Structure 1
Amino acid sequence: MRPFKAVISGGHLTPAIALIENLEKRGFSLFYFGRKFAMEGSQSASFERNYARKYRLQFIEIDSGKFPRYFTWYYFLSLFKIFSGFCRCFLYLLKIRPDIIVSFGGFLSFPLSLAGKILGIPVVIHEQTRVFGLSNRTIGKIADKICLSYNPTLKVPSHLKTTVTGIPLRRSILTPVKYFVPGNKEKPLIYITGGSQGSQSINLFLLKVIPLFLKKYRIIHAVGQSQSESVFQKIKSFKNTLPLNIKEDYTIEKSVEPDKVGSILRQADLVISRSGANTVAELCFFRKKTILIPLPWSAESEQRENGLFLVKTGLAKILDQNKLTLSLLKEAIEEMMILPYEPKKSDVKLIFDPRAENLVSEIETYLIR
């Protein structure tokens, strides 16, 4: 009997990796449909493309447009790119003939799921955020099953077929490799990250304040995969201007290897971060005190909603990026550093479940031959 074939796609790679790791153990033949570049107009390879190369995953490059939220000149170009992406997905699916499609949201998911539905391929979608996203609301009308991370998830139409499976976490998070952050171990460690893509706003703001914080803390700073080389070099040059006695306490990474993230989170005394769904899930898993700076223009205010979940557990404080100042950040760091954390009853067993097996079980119901 030939192995089952699964096509995986979506804007959130982290839970996709957890699923890929689990399906590989079960002998699946896997194909990842993803972007060539990290962002439109960028020449940096996308995170999913780099992952596929590293782990020898079969990668299919797909370009598509985003759903226009407003009528502008970009409207027709976007519709054309969606149609082009649909045609490309349709042809590849005809060639591959997968047994199932699993989508993790994002603009590429629509043309792929539509092509799959027309070809009679079961479509399972997974929503990572606390707010049901626009892409998934659209795809949800044709999907065979919708898997949710949170109970409740906001803005889910009642007629859709849903089940709560949680956010699957990567093996490297659950069982991380040993990695020790350099610097003076007597100083508390702050991990700063804007997520896998990074945040230019946070990065440039921090250049003004990091010398002050290095007097008391060690810092590891993940700049982000999609940040331009000029931004990364600017931060590296900035580090070279620091006095020798604090320079060793400032570690810069353009993109932290997935194998290292779990180890860094275990060591960190405090995390300063965006509040993407997968970041929040990992912070919850490690019970890390966190200062969250949600992306102000995230769709449906999903990052703020993700962050509010973490605040309710007693783990986090939210700062508004548009009102962020040195004094506010300094006050928040000092407050969180001395705050004793005692898990609330709601936090003993978190709302989400980190096991990929829950999602795999839903997938397997469509694979009975």
Structure 2
Amino acid sequence: MTSSPIIILTGGGTAGHVSLNQAIIPPLKNMGYDVHYIGSRDGIEKKLIEDSFPGLPYHEIRSGKLRRYFSMKNFTDPFKVGAGVLQAYRLIRKLRPELIFSKGGFVSVPVILAGRMAGIPVVIHESDVTPGLANKLAMPFADHVFTVFPETVPHVKKAEATCSGPVIRPELFEGSKEAGLRLAGLSGKRPVLLVMGGSQGSAVLNEAVRSQLPALLRTMDVIHLCGQGHLDRTLDGTEGYAQFEYVTGGLKDLLKAADGVVSRAGSNSIFEFLALRLPMLLIPLSAEKSRGDQILNARLFAKAGFAEVLEEERVTGESFLEAVGKLNSNTQRMILSMEKAEAPKTPEEMAELILRHSSSS
């Protein structure tokens, strides 16, 4: 009896570096592949993968953070990356996968370097307009890079690149408005604004929402995903307001219950909103706090008519309230623009594209 071919997935640090991997695991398994995941010990990817796919082999390696700013850890973390490369290399030599697929994040760098050392085909996926630091370092060692935005392809050096477009998890389309309203304890008699700052939360969004909560609640209900450790217990019991640290299984229901969303501008999230035809107000991370990728994402979505944009530097209580008003006024125009957008790839289609680069192809 022959054993199943093996594929290794990697990526982590944020939920956005895991969601595509979560989407393609079921079709890969249906195609007969034995899927293994390489991630960090303490990263969010460990919990997300183990909760979503109990029993799927998850291998921990060491990984240092790659920083664009000065830190004493910049002198020690390269040794962690080196240790991670050795750990990943030993594992890859043992498993002999047909392919390594990376969604990015710090933990992916040692895996990709080890894959190249072991002679295993490596495929990378980049979601943002310009490559992140981890992917930028790893791309020269990849056989192929898939991008979400066509504008990203010219940024890819020393590797073939294809714009494959976004991939949306199919379960997001299975949400129930009634279940979402029930989870949030809302009546459904008024429009619902969903505010989410990503898996780690956003102090800027949290402050803007809470400072204007009485004004917002005059005309709408608010569901607020505020991030781990950022609940405000003094607001418990406020009629029309529901706060959660982070929601996983019920997110599809909350999205279905929402009439509009306020969010950061991470690529995975905004393409999910687009696929769900959910009008959005985007408040991208400022250039001071990031490499500016979210700013580019938000501008492209605004140009396409999918979103209103409020720059983080301009956020005050008043400007936030005004931007929410514009979101409400332009809801129908945004939905019409979204309906003209190209349909996203299915996880099955993306899995097939990835496997074209395996050693058996």
Matched residue of 2:332: which SS?
coil
Q: Is the 2:109–2:138 Cα contact (8 Å) retained in structure 1?
A: yes
Q: Which one of 237, 261, 282 corresponds to residue 292 of structure 1?
A: 282
Q: Provide closer, same or farther for how the CA distance between residues 172 and 332 of structure 1 changes in structure 2, counting only shifts above 3 A.
A: same
Does residue 239 of the first structure (1) align with residue 229 of the second (2)? no
Structure 2 unaligned spans of 5+: none
Does residue 193 of the first structure (1) align with residue 196 of the second (2)? yes
Question: Counterpart of 2:18 in structure 1: which amino acid?
Answer: L
Does residue 266 of the first structure (1) align with residue 264 of the second (2)? no
- Which runs of structure 2 are paired with 1:40-55 in the superposition (5 Å)? 46-55=44-53
Distance 1:214 1:342 in 2: 24
Question: Counterpart of 1:238 in structure 2: which amino acid?
Answer: T
Q: Is the 2:280–2:307 Cα contact (8 Å) retained in structure 1?
A: yes
Q: What is the Cα deviation at residue 116 of structure 1?
A: 0.9
Does residue 319 of the first structure (1) align with residue 296 of the second (2)? no
Q: Is the 1:284–1:310 Cα contact (8 Å) retained in structure 2?
A: no
Deviations 1:45-71 (A, max 9, x none): x25424314421222222311334356
Question: Counterpart of 2:116 in structure 1: which amino acid?
Answer: K
Deviations 1:117-143 (A, max 9, x none): 111111110011111222222211111
Q: Which one of 20, 25, 34 corresponds to residue 30 of structure 2?
A: 25
Q: Which one of 210, 213, 236 corresponds to residue 210 of structure 1?
A: 213
Distance 1:37 1:305 in 2: 30
Distance 1:301 1:193 in 2: 19
Q: Provide closer, same or farther for how the CA distance between residues 171 and 278 of structure 1 changes in structure 2, counting only shifts above 3 A.
A: same
Distance 2:28 2:102 in 1: 14
Matched residue of 2:186: which SS?
coil
Q: What is the Cα deviation at residue 256 of structure 1?
A: 1.3
Q: Is the 1:214–1:249 Cα contact (8 Å) retained in structure 2?
A: yes
Q: Which one of 283, 286, 304 corresponds to residue 295 of structure 2?
A: 304
Does residue 332 of the first structure (1) align with residue 323 of the second (2)? yes
Matched residue of 1:115: which SS?
helix
Question: Counterpart of 2:360 in structure 1: which amino acid?
Answer: I
Q: What is the Cα deviation at residue 342 of structure 1?
A: 3.6
Matched residue of 1:166: which SS?
coil
Distance 1:336 1:14 in 2: 27
Query: What is aligned with 1:354?
Result: 345
Further displaced range: 264-273 or 174-183: 174-183
Deviations 1:217-272 (A, max 9, x none): 11111122xx23xx33xx1x1223x5xxxx24212222112x43233223311101
Does residue 162 of the first structure (1) align with residue 161 of the second (2)? yes
Query: What is aligned with 1:180?
Result: 180
Distance 2:240 2:336 in 1: 36
Q: What is the Cα deviation at residue 351 of structure 1?
A: 5.5
Distance 2:203 2:335 in 1: 34
Further displaced range: 294-303 or 188-197: 294-303
Q: What is the Cα deviation at residue 306 of structure 1?
A: 1.1
Q: What is the Cα deviation at residue 72 of structure 1?
A: 4.8
Structure 1 unaligned spans of 5+: 39-45
Count of equivalent residues: 349
Question: Counterpart of 1:52 in structure 2: which amino acid?
Answer: E
Distance 1:271 1:175 in 2: 18
Identity %: 28
Q: What is the Cα deviation at residue 209 of structure 1?
A: 2.0
Matched residue of 2:141: which SS?
coil
Matched residue of 1:137: which SS?
helix
Aligned Cα root-mean-square deviation (Å): 2.4
Q: What is the Cα deviation at residue 201 of structure 1?
A: 3.1
